[in-house]
Amino acid sequence: ETVDGRPPLDIYGVDTLKGIRYHLPVASAQVKSAILLAGLYAHGRTTVIEPTSTRDHTERMLSGFAGASWDRKGPVASDAAVVLSGQSLTIPGDISSAAFFLVAASLRRNSDLLLPGVGINPTRCAVLDILKLMGADIQVSRERVESNEPVCDLRVRSAALHGIDIPAEFVANAIDEFPVIAVAAAGASGITRIRGASELRVKESDRIAAVVQGLQQLGVDAVEYPDGMDITGGSFVSGSVDSFGDHRIAMAFAVAGCIGEGSVEIREADNIRTSFPDFVPLMNSAGLSLEEIS
């Protein structure tokens, strides 16, 4: 139960769950995963039909616990009748976290950085396609499968990036990486156009507005649109940027501060410690210069 469709929520348990066939009205990996996990304790089969494909880490994990390889074909389902057994899991490096290092190394002169053991799940790795279209020098090696997840080592070196019109088919699978992709666009030559990304408006912040405002504060020509932005590449200047408490906005502008002229102060950056506790020391170990201000 809820009042006016908002928290707080009152949730009442029942003795027995029953399997359902559920059509997601809006693509959401989080909602899909919650239904599939609940389906493990329901009588009968639980099936989820998605309007478009979303990240499939939960399905891959459950297939592994069932002793099967993952092969995505049609709707996804869970069933309490399927026997699951304990497994040893290897959790791959997060491609969204790796993206900050990929952009920093691409834009910083004389860079040559190796990122081992990064997950390249096909529902997550469109950021690699986008950066390569922009001219990034990214090499994939040692491709393998660990715990039903595709994994590789990524080597990235300095490159002269150029602006592009980001293909619509890459938007959904790179939605979390757009703040740092925007920083890559700001450091590239020419104009980068992002469209079809209205979901960015309802993330931890309005990421379209936050990114455009932050880039403008740093002297970059950025224009906001309802579902995206245009960014004309150039040099960064010193400035102060509000992250609006959004960890990805804060980390993206931390990258901007490391590759531009002068320094960048990022306000409300505490959430970095929650999502990526080692971000600052890892960036500094890679040769960049970040300082936490208390």
In a domain, 127, yes or no: yes
Q: Are residues 156 and 227 in the same domain?
A: yes
Domain that includes residue 65, residue range: 17-79
pLDDT at 74: 67
Strands 239-242 and 264-267: parallel
Q: At what angle do helices 95-107 and 178-186 cross, to 10 degrees?
A: 10
Q: Are residues 272 and 155 in the same domain?
A: yes
- The answer to whether residue 236 scores a pLDDT higher than 70 is yes
- Cα angle 285, 288, 292; round to 5: 85
Q: Are residues 180 and 230 in the same domain?
A: yes
Total of domains in the chain? 2
In a domain, 131, yes or no: yes
Contact 115, 156 (CB under 8 A): yes
In a domain, 241, yes or no: yes
Q: Are residues 108 and 225 in the same domain?
A: yes
151, two tokens: 């994994």
In a domain, 191, yes or no: yes
pLDDT at 209: 96
Q: Are residues 67 and 154 in the same domain?
A: no
In a domain, 195, yes or no: yes
14, two tokens: 């029942």
**69 confidence band (pLDDT: 50, 70, 90):** low
Q: Are residues 132 and 75 in the same domain?
A: no
In a domain, 11, yes or no: no
CATH for 255: 3.65.10.10
Q: Are residues 66 and 191 in the same domain?
A: no
pLDDT at 70: 67
Q: What is the pLDDT of residues 11-68, one digit of tens each?
A: 888 888 899 999 999 888 899 999 999 999 899 999 999 888 888 999 999 888 887 7
In a domain, 257, yes or no: yes
Comparing CA positions, the residue from 38, 45, 86, 48 lying closest to residue 66 is: 86
Helices (H) and strands (E) in the chain, counts: 10, 13
Residue 292: exposure state from Cβ atoms within 10 A (0-12, 13-18, ≥19): exposed
Q: Are residues 74 and 99 in the same domain?
A: no
Q: Are residues 125 and 231 in the same domain?
A: yes
Q: Are residues 107 and 65 in the same domain?
A: no
Average of per-residue pLDDT across 173-184? 95
Q: Are residues 138 and 69 in the same domain?
A: no
Q: What is the largest CA-CA distance in the chain?
A: 62
Name the residues annotated as catalytic: 176
Q: What is the pLDDT of residues 243-291, one digit of tens each?
A: 999 999 999 999 998 887 778 999 989 999 989 999 999 999 998 888 8
In a domain, 9, yes or no: no
Q: What is the pLDDT of residues 79-123, one digit of tens each?
A: 888 888 998 999 999 999 999 999 999 999 999 999 999 999 999
Q: Are residues 31 and 113 in the same domain?
A: no
